[in-house]
Structure 1
Amino acid sequence: MSVTIKDVAKKAGVSPSTVSRVIAEHPRISAKTSRKVREVMDELGYHPNMMAKSLVSKTTKTIGVILPRPAEELLLNFFFYEFMRGVMAQLTRAGYDLLMAGGNNEREELETVTRLVRGGRIDGLLLLYSRIADPIIAFLHKEKVPFVLIGRSLDYENVLSVDNDNVQAAYDATKHLIAQGQRRIGFVSGPTHLAMTQDRLAGYTKALAEAGLPFKQGWVVEGEFLLESGYRAMASIMSQPEPPTALVVIDDFVAFGVLKGLAELGFRVPQDVAIVSFNNIALAELTMPPITSVDIGTYQLGYTASQMLLSTILQEQIQPRQLIPHRLVIRESSLRTFFPV
């Protein structure tokens, strides 16, 4: 026979309503009583019915993460795991669960969010990418659902967001290549409808303009956040009559594909083509050569975003936008000292 609230109450010497208040984390229950009841719950192996609890408290203690399409691409990228490690550290500490969902296209994504919100299955949402005219953000605004955006909104002001200064980060990466003597610098981009891609492209072009270096459209290739995307980009960008001798790459995982593509085409890194990338995932220093990468504080992005979302749910005052600092981690893939004399 399963253990009930009445069993817990009898063993703890309190009323069933007191046990219910402990489960609901009622502020008027003393720490001593709460500790005693929870010890009895553990002793008897009692697990509260969270669905029933949510009906009473109007909360689910669950946060949703909406995966941008196609989700299988994101799950291949090590950025996601480091980001989610930060999210889970904060949610676990606060006693919240995580629900991940997505869709194969924009319509399915919106349907998923609508179902989660109107079904009362979540207390708030984390959105992993900022897109132009995103219908999900419009819906969440209309429904007054707490959410935090990773990036910056291109359409709304005062959206709660956690971001890097992606313009400055790409500017710093490009300036590093310029300082190494590079004059023909290309850019392997992500999808251009993302705010992050637009900002990093802006930082890249700003650094070129300041140095009086040419911007050539043929040296900029758009792709996805996939190894295969970086691999394919090399066939296009390095077939130019005068190909670039250095590349700023949108993401480390994409950079792995860039290394593979360059090697198959007979280009050496960094002797023929220098590379700077972003995210500084653990594998970046294990490639041959190790990749110079901008560390964007991926773990901190996830931790801070979930912290902001929980504060919003609890109606605490927070800054609407927080920036996580970045730093350039220099390795062999970009260093002039590895070039032939």
Structure 2
Amino acid sequence: MSVTIKDVAKKANVAPSTVSRVLSDSPRISETTKKRVRKIMEEMGYHLNINGRVLVRQSTQTIGIVMKDSATHSFENPFFSEILKGISEACHTRDYNLNLTTGESEETIFQDVVKMVQGKRVDGIIVLYSKKDDKVVPYLMEHDFPFVVVGKPLFGANKFMYVDNDNVEAAREATNYLIEYGHKDLGFIGGDLKFEVAKDRLQGFKLAAEQHGIDIQPESVQSIDLSDSVENGKEVVKKMMNSPRRPTGLVITDDYNGLTVMAALQEIQIKVPDDVSIIGFNNTMIAKLANPPLTTVDTNPYQLGYEASDGLINILHTPEMVKRGVIIPTSIVERDSCKPYSPGIKELDAN
């Protein structure tokens, strides 16, 4: 006999309505109660099945997508839209649907995943990031649930499939591009360093500088998180450009942040590329529409998504297949935001 809400409520010594509110993540229920009830659900094997076809077909024909950040911030960045296009195309071709996490914090995103798995709402999951101290991947491994990671695996690389770029090499090539243009005062503006992609691109930047004997000033390495406001991002740029050795060449590891950087430079009357050359990452529509159009590293986000989705569906159909890593190549798309170095960058008002 299957476990019911009443069974869970009895063991947890709460009302059935409380269990229902825990399932809906109601703010009326304390986090302590939620954790206790969820633990009992897992111990008792309670699953909230989304509909009857799960029992009949033993398949939802649905793939779960775990976003890197909150849904609000993720959809602001066209990089994730491009990845989702690739995922959607592969799913459409093979008659699968999508279910996206909608949480606005790490904990609510994780609970979305728990609901997907325990409620049998999806057949497999694509995790759109790799980061230290993540709860999602260990949870999926512990429950032997099919999944693919878009990003570099931190552990268990031979136990699950992943799709990624060689981000160290891509950032090294982007930095070398500026160096070949004669830029020796270099700056780096990356993303949140809790994510492996941000760490790898910073590593590639530093590697290129070291190989050319270029000393990077501490103030010339900064981060702009997606959750930062535009104004905070602009302050980061202004601080960097007010340093004693302000950069003439910037590596910005996301086209989305590139717009913030270019707007900040415009406010302090520094011209791109006359005063500062910029190279971005991802080759999204933003790069094409920027003024001037942004030279960028094409990470092929559509292909990242397609390979992740197609690979997961293959695993679902053939569970015994060898789990593999897929590296999607990158290339530099030249536009108008970079030019050879020439002395004479404007002096800024320190005030």
In the superposition, the TM-score normalised over structure 1's length comes to: 0.81
Within the alignment, does 1:241 sit opposite 2:205 as a pair?
no
3-state DSSP class of the match of 2:242?
Answer: coil
Partner Cα separation in structure 2 for residue 336 and residue 230 of structure 1: 26
- Equivalent residue, structure 1, for 2:326: 322
CA distance in 1, matches of 2:302, 2:331: 14
How far off is 1:339 after superposition?
8.5
Tell me by how many angstroms 1:335 deviates: 2.0
Which of 322, 333, 336 lines up with 2:337 in the alignment? 333
1:188 is aligned to: 189
Deviations, residues 210-233 of structure 1 (Å, cap 9, x unaligned) = 000012211011121378264332
Pairing 1:132-171 to 2, within 5 Å after superposition: 132-158=132-158, 159-171=160-172
Task: Name the structure 1 match of 2:173.
Answer: 172
Q: Give yes or no for contact 1:230–1:255 (8 Å, CA) kept in 2.
A: no
SS at the partner of 2:52? helix
Q: Which residue of 2 aligns with 1:27?
A: none
Q: 1:119 to 1:319 in 2, by over 3 A?
A: closer
* Cα distance in structure 2, aligned partners of 1:267 and 1:258: 11
Contact preservation (8 Å) 1:332, 1:338? no
Residue in structure 2 matched with residue 299 of structure 1 by the alignment: 302
CA distance in 2, matches of 1:70, 1:299: 21
CA RMSD of aligned residues (A): 2.0
Q: Deviations over 1:178-226 (max 9, x none)?
A: 0000001110010001000010001000000000001221101112137
* TM-score, with length taken from structure 2: 0.79
1:318 positional shift: 4.8
State the alpha-carbon separation in 2 of the partners of residues 284 and 230 from structure 1.
18
Aligned ranges for residues 27-106 of structure 1 at < 5 Å?
A: 51-106=51-106
Q: Secondary structure at the match of 1:98?
A: strand
AA aligned to 1:174 is T
Question: Offset of 1:104 from its aligned partner?
Answer: 2.5
Q: Which has the larger radius of gyration?
A: 1
Report how far residue 337 of structure 1 moved: 8.2
The 2-side partners of 1:135 and 1:333 are apart by 39
CA distance in 1 between counterparts of 2:98 and 2:168 reads 31
**CA distance, structure 1, for counterparts of residue 74 and residue 180 of structure 2:** 33
Asked whether the 8 Å contact 1:79–1:279 carries over to 2, the reply is: yes
Distance 2:253 2:322 in 1: 30
Q: 1:227 to 1:165 in 2, by over 3 A?
A: farther
The separation in 2 between residues aligned to 1:279 and 1:268, in whole angstroms, is 22
1:264-287 deviation digits (Å, cap 9, x = unpaired): 011011111110000011231222
- Paired with 1:337 and 1:286, the residues of 2 have a C-alpha distance of 24
Q: Distance in 1 between matches of 2:190 and 2:59?
A: 41
Number of equivalences: 292
Q: Could you list the per-position Cα deviations for residues 83-125 of structure 1 after superposition, in whole angstroms to 9, with x for gaps in the alignment? A: 1111111101111110111423222222211111011111011
Q: Which segments of 5 or more consecutive residues in structure 2 lack a partner in the other structure?
A: 1-49, 346-351
SS at match of 2:51: helix
User: Any idea what SS the aligned residue of 1:277 has?
Assistant: strand
Aligned to 1:223: 224
The letter of the residue matching 1:260 is A
Of 189-198 and 73-82, more deviation after overlay is shown by 73-82
Query: What SS does the corresponding residue of 1:334 show, helix, strand or coil?
Result: coil
* Paired residues of 1:191 and 1:222 also in contact (CA < 8 A): yes
In the aligned structure 1, how far is the partner of 2:344 from the partner of 2:214?
23
Amino acid aligned to 2:201 = R
Q: What SS does the corresponding residue of 1:243 show, helix, strand or coil?
A: coil
Unaligned runs of 5+ in 1: 1-49
Residue 115 (structure 2) pairs with residue 115 (structure 1): yes
* Percent identity of equivalent pairs: 33
Question: Which deviates the most, 230-239 or 207-216?
Answer: 230-239
Indicate if the aligned counterparts of 2:170 and 2:201 stay in contact, CA closer than 8 A. Answer: yes
Change (3 A) 1:204 1:280: same
